[in-house]
Amino acid sequence: MKKNQHPVKLPLLVATGDDIVETDVLIIGGGVTGTGIARDLTLRGLDVILIETSDLNAGASGGNHGLLHSGARYVCSDPEAAVECATELEILKKNAGHCIEETGGLFVAVKGDKENYITDFPDMCKKSGIPSKKIDPKEAREMEPSLSDETIAVYKVNDASINPFKLSIENINDAVSRGSCYLSHTRIETFKIENKAIVYARVRNQISGEIYKIKAKTYVNATGAWAGSIAAMAGIHISMVFSKGSLLVTSKRITKRVISRLRKPTDGDILVPGGVVSILGTTSVRIKSPDNIYPTVKEVDYIISEGEKLIPELKTCRYIRAYAGVRPLVSMGKGDDRDVSRGFTLLDHEKDQVHNFITITGGKLSTYRLMAEKTSDIVCKKHRVSVECRTKTIPLPSTHSGEWSEPGVLVNDPFKSDALEDPFLCECEMVPASAINTVIDSIKNNGGKPDLSSIALRTRVGKGPCQGAFCSIRILSHLHDRGEIIGQTGINDLKYFLNERWKGEQSLLWGQALVQSSLKEMIHCGLFGLELV
Amino acid sequence: MKLAYFPGCKINFYLRDYDTSFKSLMEKLGVDLVQLPFNCCGYPARSTSFEISVFSSIRNFALARKYDLDIITPCKCCFGQLKYASYQWHENKELKQRMDCLLADENLFWDGKTKIKHLLSFLYNDIGVLEIKKKIDHKLPEKKIVTQYGCHALRPFTITGFDNPHAPGIFEELINITGFKTVEWSKSTECCGNPIYTSNKNLSLKILNSKLKAASESGADHICTACTHCQIQYNDLSFQNECQKHNITPVLFTQILGAALGIKKEKLGEDRLPIFDLRVS
Amino acid sequence: MKDKKYITCDITVIGAGFAGMVAAARASALGLKTVQTGNSSQLYFASGLFDFLGVYPLHSRIPLKDPRTGLELLQKEMPDHPYSKTGLEAILKSFDFLARFLQSTGLNYVKPDKRNRSVLTAAGTFKPTCMIPETISKGCLLKNNTPLLLVDFKGLKGFCAGQMADVLKKIHPNILTLSVDVPGEGGDLNPTYFATLFEDSSFLKKLATQISPFLDKVELMGMPAVCGVNKSLDALTRLEKMTGLDIFEIPMMPPSIPGLRLKNAFEKKLAENNVHFLTQAKIKSPQFNGSEFVLDAVNQNMETQIRSRGVILATGRFPGGGLHAQRGYIQETVFNLPVYQPDKRSLWHHINFFEQQGHMINTAGVETDNVFRPVDTHGAVVYENLYAIGTILAHNDWVRLKSGSGVSAVSAFTSVNDFYKKSAAGH
Amino acid sequence: MFQIALYTSLILSTAGLLFQVYRFKKKGSLWVPKLKLNLDLKPALFNTIFQSRLFRASKTRWAVHFLVFSGFIYLVFFHALDELTVFNLFQYYQPTLDPFQFLRNFAGFLVLVGCIGFLFRRSFNTRINQDNKIKYKGIFSIILILLVITSGFMLETIKIISEPAFLEMVEDYSDLDEETGLDNLKIYWKTHYQVSFKKDLLITEDTLERGRLLNNDYCLDCHSKIKSAFVSNAFAMHLGKPANFLNHYRADNWLYPIHYLLSFLMLVCLPFSRFFHMLLIPFASARHKVTDKYFQKKAVFIHPATLAACTNCGICSEVCSVYPNFLITRNKQILPHSKIESARKIIFTAHLKPEELNQLQLGNDDCTMCNNCTDICPSGIDLQGLWKTLPQTLQKMGYPDNYTFVKDKALQEWGNKESEKEQATGAHELTENLTGRVYSFENCVQCTICTNVCPVVAYGGNDNDMTPQQIMNLLRLGKKQTAAGTRMVWNCLTCYLCQEHCPSEIKVADIIIELRNISNQAADRLKIMNAADKANKL
């Protein structure tokens, strides 16, 4: 392993009492948009602080398919978005290739799907300039043997899959290495508003409880589903609608390509391969609050029953976990939330009488860069900075600490030489201690505190079949051994981590997954009695 | 009783006494052994090709089938491999067809009816401990002995069906009737290290050494295996350099039982232990 | 054509987990001709601690000091719980039998006391349990002020003395820790192999030297439960003599060495008792012909037809394969017995993993009469001589109640006794 | 001319022998350490004279070979070298006298029959014919023998029928002419000695009787009854008309040089053809087996002279334990008789293609060291010694055994070639395909029991990398080739402890063995690719 590739160490922000930290731009929200903006602005020479109330990709950025749309899905409903997707896809392929797997995609119609949608599809693609190619169903079944034998029409498109965690990690790593600052577990308490502008933001470190102020020239609200509540702190009302989408992760990769149902977008009609697994989704359920969401049994069953029409194997295969994300929609209309707007909402609150506050929300993963670009444009205008956006041209560098978020990554050489000195702490996904150490260092460099959850976010830890049953206690021991955790917090940390994992499993526990989870309960409740602590 | 004798590749030139004493033992027990032009059991080819290994075994079965004989072998590795192949042959239709074709080229065929027996399971199940006990007329001195079961006969149980793989006992029973006393030790079901002797001698010897250590800690004088390969491992290697400190002498099961049954010394092979001269009647 | 074998016996125990082992032990001790099938590796998951009743009522979230008080309440409130069918005396008797049986194999357990024992676990928590191996027993001497040394081994994953000390600090401030570099071994230590090292005196000596700097500072020492496989108590005593400390083992996550010791003990003794063990054999299409069960135990290469007057179903829950969950419902896998279960899957699990009442799926299982014969939905006995024992029983969330071994032992004990009594009367 | 031919051929033959000795020495010094010759003469003598090893191997083949051997020996000593042997022993010796005349014919007949037997076997023996290159090896020598013998018989036949020869003899040994009853003698010789006369002769009982008396007077001392030359006589009887023609052109005169020239050719060829085995086998069967000393001295081959003693008889392949391997892979280099041929090529000419070398390595790897071939080898070559040393040789040449190859290969390099291999593997290979089906390993609950019971993990230390459970995880993560390249896969003892203990009843050991198959195949491909790369660079 190349040890000299750590991100540049930042001077740690020591903020006590009423200390004020000053910066050009304060970005709130560490999803793909937030980290994207951070990188974009940093590249344009601005000084940026990004704060996140928990950790990277806690919201919709971490709760999606990881699909880079070719645009074909939107050709009927939203041709404009379709074109955006297509252009962004090309840019990302060029600049962030290490986060992307160019899988290609198939749009597949099965018996019973609406004829006119199928017949219109190629024309609509052509209109939006999105390449698609008709494929004989028989040939398609040779390409993807798991497709249903009731397949009646297939089109090949350019869909790709992307690892959103890696994307955010690399974005923020690049921003930090260029002098910006990322503060995880930091929550906005209040905004101080004077003269139609925010003077400073009072923030609180969620772990240590420290409260301090960050003074910036401009404040960007990139909190996705929470955009409304953050804006409310500044006295601005945004009408938000929340739509929950649940997704299922299979234990193996079922198809080589992205498979979408060739029909009007609805539930359970996309299967995206991600490394060694496939992700099936989604649903669309209106919810009241974006907090504390998890997939329900009903949703899981519904997604499977829809998905199995496309790929029968989905009925019998093993699922590892389910998760949910919230689509933040700034809505006025009615009907299916998918119809509302998959395009993004960029609000300059100058019109709401707060001059230095911008909200960016909505949108989709595929266009995150564009959203960041547009937001940054406004910020730059306010700062009178006339540098062109550079994320179009400068490739996203690949760093070592981002590597382990990739499923199935193996740094091969250590196995031969250092296997003995470098034990696997997570056996399922084969994450060695050295990788955990790299990630711990990177978290600490970013001013965070390494614990089970933050490590799990940046690695594959806990994402394998055992869902934390074995690795959690091993990594906890490791953290204690390294002195990263001292005192009682360890057990609470363990419980929190297991519970977070549990939210993603509880809805799909049957067959072998239930066996695995029973084992987990036997260890952590039966032996360790954690439920009593 | 008439059985086809499957000697395995190694016995003839590396463990001749085992061969000699095995034959004498079978003669004594009234078993006619027929020697057929068998080939390798197929175990060594397991590493390179599934198909070859199964075919090698099936060809042996077919040869025995030609004379309508069941097969007996004193080697546990061969036993395990033949069992494994017959299982695969029964399970896998495609394989069966392929084997049929290959056999037909040599005017052979196999219908799955040939059975494979190992020396121990044959003595235990087909002849019976009591029956053998009756024939024993020379009690041997109460020497302490540890037994090594041999992996390929014992496991996987669901294929070999040899003995309880976790707590096997037939070997002990068969030895205890001779006057020798088996001693319990922790590694009776573990591997002797022979399978990787050629590829990784270092590890093979380490494993052998750990076994010898455990055996000597149990207080035994001898070790016995009833498997050509394991026995070769102990016979040839346990006296090498690092293994020498453990005072464990490997002995052949067929010689022990043969001696107890009163088979003449000369018929038990050339290399005999002095204990056979100390029979207690 | 697979090899076919035929066996006739008095009783067949399906399952080789803890309950199955106890049943086979009891049956063979009573002189019944016994056949056992299953996969004994499940015992690697056993902690080696025999729980009676650790927590009741669940919402109290307080370990029971005296299991009897909990038992009384439980019998009152949960009439369907297996304990409610047997009573205290049978439970104690079964523990007693178990202790004697294990003693005969050289595995010593401390007999049950009136009070539950608190055993320190590798997470630094305490587990309320009843009967424990002698090697663990001294951990119960732990008092607030006893100076304690916790030892871990580099390379033994998932056991960190520092972490335990951190957790314990609140109630036990006087803890020192030591992380031992195991001589001659590098990298990952696998418990089963590591445990065999403790049977070697020279290794113990080296270990003792590493501990020696602490000898005058502490009185008690805790170490992971890896002190020897077959001669654990012997090894522990030797180490105690070398150091002069009281030493106890701390159970850690699977594969558990105390579980392995149980496995070895049972397997050895049962083989000696002539229990015919068909490992990994699956029972296919069991039938009852009016007087006996005809079971096909199917292997990869062999089919064994077992004719047996009685059958004990000890196949366990989901990990053991006794119960299987489809997406919508739970099935019993061998006899397809009716399974008591929540109405729909959404009720199976609670969204909180550590929900105090436990997950509803854990109360699912086979319902039985008072001698553990499965009953159908109308409450009628399914087969005269079919018994279901162990964790497969319904209404027993053993993980949360900490009642696993107790229920397994008592149900095994009671059912075999019942079968024996009946067959003795019949003859 | 006879003298010139004789000496030339003797010189050539000696030179050839010296050259061979020199070559063996030179090649020997490359491959074999200096060890005492350490000969064991008794078995060698026995084997040389009676071919005792061949007798043990195959009675029929021994019988056929012994026909040739005994006949040939007789002809060499009592026919070709008659001036040195029989002349001195028997004062009255004449080649045309019985028993010599009969024995010569008989010996020739034996050789003839034996040689036909040789040819016959070559066309029908199954295992040796698997390698066409070897099938016809040595056929030159057989044909040469056949030619010599046939030419001898032809010469004799011609001499029998030859009128000019008859007349010359009459002139030399009698004073007979037309008047004194030469015709009568002619008539007698025509009837009893098959001489073919141009002129028709009137045969009556009277003339025949007179001829008999003349014959008694002049010829009988040197000419036994022609019937005893049963082969040539039979030819002569059936020759018919062409006889006159041959007589006219004095066929006896030019067949004689043909016969001895062919014989001399044999002499010349002695060191360079199959005939050489007559000298090498005694040497080979006198040498002791390859001992540990060889290995300690890091010798890599058995003595080249021993190696050269192989006659490609193919008996070794008939007893080969791993013949079924050949039936499936069709790799000739599994069969000992092909392997030894390749070994000879390596040592003497060093011209083997990369594929051939690789095949040889693979074939030799299949050998179970059962010693059957060595035990049976009629030439007494220590074949097993060769098989044992061959891997070292091949490793030096860049064809290590797969274990060493995989061990030395970085896992990374292994992984890089993954994609191209993916296409090549799995095609039409009959396997259980456990590694290709997710359900065979996905039920793993990560309990590490397999790892815990594994002796390789316990004792492997630095020799080992992954644990069985990690192998299962690699498979689940889609890293089949990487898994196949781990040392665990190669160190596995196949003791099945893991499989027996797995609570999820995953066929851990079977999967690992299957991975080893995959690894083997991958190693083969990589080795050939590497060799091709090297060749390209050169």
pLDDT at D442: 86
Average pLDDT (C324-346) is 94
* CA torsion, ordered D470, D475, D480, D486, to nearest 10 deg: 10
- Yes or no, beta carbons of D501 and C41 under 8 Å apart: yes
Query: pLDDT value at position A10?
Result: 34
Write down the pLDDT at residue A328.
Answer: 87
Chains C and D touch (3+ CB pairs under 8 A): yes
Distance, CA of C257 to CA of C46 (rounded, Å):
9
Measured between CA atoms, how close is D32 to chain C, in angstroms? Answer: 41
pLDDT above 90 for C247: yes
Mean pLDDT for the stretch of residues D110-120? 89
The pLDDT of residue D78 is: 87
D517, B193: Cβ pair inside 8 Å? Answer: no
Q: Do B48 and D321 make contact, defined as CB atoms within 8 angstroms? A: no
State ipTM. Answer: 0.92
Contacts of D130 in chain B (CB under 8 A): none
User: What pLDDT does residue C100 have?
Assistant: 95
For D171-204, write each residue's pLDDT tens digit. Answer: 888 887 777 778 888 888 888 888 888 777 778 8
Which pLDDT belongs to residue A323?
Answer: 92
pLDDT given for residue A296 in this prediction = 92
Q: What is the pLDDT of residues B68-127, one digit of tens each?
A: 999 999 999 999 999 999 999 998 899 999 999 999 988 999 999 999 999 999 999 999
Could you say which residues from 282 to 321 on chain C have a Cβ atom under 8 Å away from some Cβ of chain B?
299-302
Residue in chain D closest to C42 (alpha carbons) equals D503
Handedness of CA C180, C185, C189, C195 (dihedral sign): negative
Inter-chain residue contact A522 with C399, CB threshold 8 Å: yes
pLDDT single digits (tens) D4-41:
888 898 999 999 889 888 888 777 766 665 555 566 77
Is residue D412 less than 8 Å (CB to CB) from chain A?
A: yes
pLDDT of residue D125: 61
CB contact under 8 A, D375 and B42: no
Note the pLDDT of residue A9: 30
From D445, D458, D501, residue closest to C190, measured CB to CB: D458
Give, rounded to a whole angstrom, the gap between the first and last alpha carbons of chain A. 40
Residues A181 and D294: their CA atoms lie apart, in Å, by 69
Q: Which residues of chain B have pLDDT under 70?
A: 238-244, 272-281
Please state, in angstroms and rounded to a whole number, the distance separating the CA atoms of residues D78 and D51.
Answer: 21
Q: What is the pLDDT of residue D99?
A: 83
Q: What percent of chain D has pLDDT over 70?
A: 89
For residue C215, give how far its alpha carbon lies from the nearest alpha carbon of chain D (Å). Answer: 31
Contact between B155 and D320 using a beta-carbon 8 Å cutoff: no
pLDDT of D506 > 80? The answer is yes
D70 within 8 A of D76, measured Cβ to Cβ: no
Nearest to B195 among D459, D494, D517 (CB): D494
pLDDT exceeds 50 at position C349: yes
Query: Which of D429, D431, D516 has the CB atom closest to B47's CB atom?
Result: D516
The pLDDT tens digits for C362-411 are: 999 999 999 999 999 999 999 999 999 999 999 999 999 999 999 999 99
Does B10 sit within 8 Å of D455, measured CB to CB? no
Entry pTM = 0.90
Residues of chain B contacting residue C230, judged by C-beta atoms under 8 Å apart? 186
Q: What is the pLDDT of residue C130?
A: 93
pLDDT at D416: 55
Chain C residues with CB under 8 Å of A485 CB are 163, 166
Please report the pLDDT score of residue B273 as a whole number.
64
- Regarding beta strands A20-28 and A211-221, do their DSSP bridges make them parallel or antiparallel, or are they unpaired? parallel
Token readout for C86 is 């047997």
Could you give the CA distance from residue C95 to residue C191 in angstroms, rounded to a whole number?
A: 28
Cβ distance of A252 and D438 shorter than 8 Å: yes
| Contacts of residue A211, Cβ cutoff 8 Å, sequence gap at least 6 | A189, A202, A203, A204, A205
Judged against a pLDDT cut of 50, whether residue D424 lies above it is answered with no
Q: Which residue of D has its CA nearest to C263?
A: D501
- Give me the percent of chain D exceeding a pLDDT of 90: 14
Q: What is the mean pLDDT of residues D324-348?
A: 88
User: Are C170 and A519 a contacting pair at CB < 8 A?
Assistant: no
Please give the angle made by the CA atoms of B276, B277 and B280, to the nearest 5 degrees: 85
Touch test A–D: 3 Cβ pairs or more under 8 Å: yes
Strand partners, C175: C148
Q: What is the pLDDT along chain A (533 residues), one digit of tens a residue?
A: 222 223 333 334 444 445 788 899 999 999 999 999 999 999 999 999 999 998 889 889 988 999 999 999 888 888 888 999 999 999 999 999 889 999 999 999 999 898 889 999 999 999 888 999 999 999 999 999 999 999 999 999 999 999 999 999 999 999 988 988 888 888 999 999 998 999 999 999 887 788 888 999 999 999 999 999 999 999 999 888 899 999 999 988 899 999 999 998 888 899 999 888 899 988 989 898 888 889 999 999 999 999 999 999 999 888 988 999 998 888 654 444 544 445 788 999 988 889 999 999 988 899 999 999 999 999 999 999 988 999 999 999 988 777 777 665 554 444 444 455 678 888 888 888 888 888 898 888 777 788 898 898 888 888 888 889 999 999 999 999 888 888 778 889 999 999 999 999 999 999 999 999 999 999 999 999 999 98
Predicted pLDDT of residue D123: 75
DSSP string, A90-113: HHHHHH-GGGEE---EEEEEETTS
Q: Which residues sit opposite A192 in a β-bridge?
A: A200
Residues of A in contact with D443 (CB under 8 A): 512, 515
What is residue D287's predicted lDDT score, i.e. its pLDDT?
67
What is the distance between the alpha carbons of residues C315 and C388, in angstroms, rounded to a whole number?
A: 9
**Residue-level pLDDT at C78:** 93
- What distance, in Å, lies between the first and last C-alpha atoms of chain C? 38
Do chain A and B touch: 3 or more Cβ pairs under 8 angstroms?
Answer: no
The alpha carbon of residue B201 is apart from the nearest alpha carbon of chain D, in Å, by 10
| C-beta of residue C15 within 8 angstroms of C-beta of residue C315 | yes
Phi, psi of A187 (to 5 degrees): -115, 140
Q: Quote the tokens at residue A432.
A: 């060695």
- D463 contact B CB<8A: yes
Q: Which residues of C114-136 are buried (b: 16+ CB within 10 A; e: fewer)?
A: eebbbbbbbbbbbbbbbbbbbbb
From chain D, pick out residues whose CB is under 8 angstroms from the CB of C45. 447, 503
Q: Searching chain B, which residue's CA lies closest to the CA of residue D519?
A: B48
Alpha helices per DSSP H over C222-286: 232-243, 257-272
pLDDT at C155: 87
- The torsion angles phi and psi of A64, rounded to 5 degrees, stand at -140, -175
Name which of D159, D54, D50, D58 is nearest D104 in CA terms: D159
Instruction: Determine the pLDDT at residue D285.
Output: 79
Q: How far is CA D284 from CA C178, D305, D307, in A?
A: 68, 7, 8
Q: What is the DSSP letter of A200?
A: E
SS3 C311: strand
Q: Kindly list the partner chains of chain D, i.e. chains with 3 or more CB atom pairs below 8 Å.
A: A, B, C
Q: How confident is the prediction for chain D on average, in pLDDT?
A: 82
Percent helix / strand / coil, chain D, rounded to 5: 70, 0, 30
The pLDDT score that the predictor gives to residue A2 is 26
**Is D473 within 8 Å of A470 when comparing Cβ atoms?**
no
Q: What is the pLDDT of residues C249-308, one digit of tens each?
A: 999 998 999 999 999 999 999 999 999 999 989 999 899 998 899 999 998 888 899 999
Q: What is the pLDDT of residue B249?
A: 84
- Residues in C closer than 8 angstroms to B186, CB to CB, are 196, 199, 229-230
Least confident of A469-473, C344-348, D120-124: D120-124
Residue-wise pLDDT for D40-78, tens only, equals 777 788 888 888 888 888 888 899 999 999 998 899 888
What confidence score (pLDDT) does residue D465 get?
82
